[in-house]
Amino acid sequence: MPLVPGRVCGGCTVCCSELHIEAAELKKLAGVRCPNLDGGGLCAIYATRPGTCRDFECGWKLTATLSDAWRPDRSGIVLIPKTKGNPPGFQEGTGVQIVLLRREALGFPELPGAVAAWVRTRVPLFLTLKAPVGLLAASAFLNTLVEGAVRRQDRAALIQVLEEMVEGLSRRKLEPATFGSAPR
Ligand code: SF4
Ligand code: SF4
């Protein structure tokens, strides 16, 4: 998928901390700041960074309809393109994992409208709440739960479902994250 022209990471380094990376050159759990990230927010091994880093672009850099406020370090939400594991009836390669880096990010005002637009266009969505380091983040399929609210254009109901989902995710018993456990 092409990058949105002119959209750059700038001061954001979220993916260098929040992604689980499991490459020959670098293994780190989600939530652990990469040791290669220097004090200025730059990658000290940029030219030779692992393929995982080279290939990753978050959804904000790929989606022209999202405003600059969606930059993950500002919104508290990182959108991870999901290339497999979509439920039946949804096209493979089109999914989005909506990762809340903190619970309060659910209050980001542009989130409900984006969720509604994606649900209408059959983009499979998974809501994920960041987990403490060492645990696998809980995640849940979103579309079926909000379809009614989206159809009725009921923003309040949509927000309520999202809040209930986050509450449910926050109560889940989390499995330990280990290398080889492939959290996404
Ligand atoms: S999360 Fe997105 S904007 Fe932030 S550093 Fe990673 S790719 Fe760049
Ligand atoms: S190796 Fe570089 S690009 Fe990859 S996570 Fe670390 S700092 Fe970021």
Instruction: Pick from 71, 77, 130 the residue to mutate for probing ligand 1's pocket: most ligand atoms within 8 Å of its CB.
Output: 71
Ligand nearest to the CA of 9: 1
Q: Give residue 24 CA to ligand 2 midpoint distance, Å.
A: 13
Tokens coding 184: 């996404």
Asked whether 98 lines ligand 2 (CB < 6 A), one says no
Taking 70 as the pLDDT cut, the residues of the chain under it are 181-184
Nearest-CA residue for ligand 2 atom 8 is 16
- In ligand 2, the atom with minimum distance to the C-alpha of 45 is 2
Q: Report pTM.
A: 0.94
Out of 3, 4, 13, give the residue to mutate to test ligand 1, the one with the largest number of ligand atoms within 8 Å of its CB.
13
How many other C-beta atoms lie within 10 A of the C-beta of residue 164?
11
What does the pLDDT read at residue 104?
Answer: 96
- Atom 4 in ligand 1: which residue has the minimum CA distance? 12
Burial profile 41-60: b = 16 or more Cβ within 10 angstroms, e = fewer: eeeeeeeebbeebeebbbbb
Residue-level pLDDT at 184? 46
DSSP conformational letter for 29:
-
Ligand 2 site, residue 37, Cβ cutoff 6 A: yes
Region for residue 180 given its phi and psi (left: phi exceeds 0; alpha: psi -120 to 50; beta: otherwise): left
CA of 19 from ligand 1 middle (Å) equals: 10
pLDDT for the residue numbered 131:
96
Q: Ligand 2 center to residue 83 CA distance, Å?
A: 21
66 lines ligand 2 (CB under 6 A): no
Read off the pLDDT of residues 97-107 as tens digits, 9 standing for 90 and up: 999 999 999 99
Q: Which helix (H) or strand (E) covers residue 75, if one does?
A: helix 72-75
Q: Return d(Cα 42, Cα 78) in angstroms, integer.
A: 19
Ligand 1 pocket check for 12: Cβ under 6 Å: yes
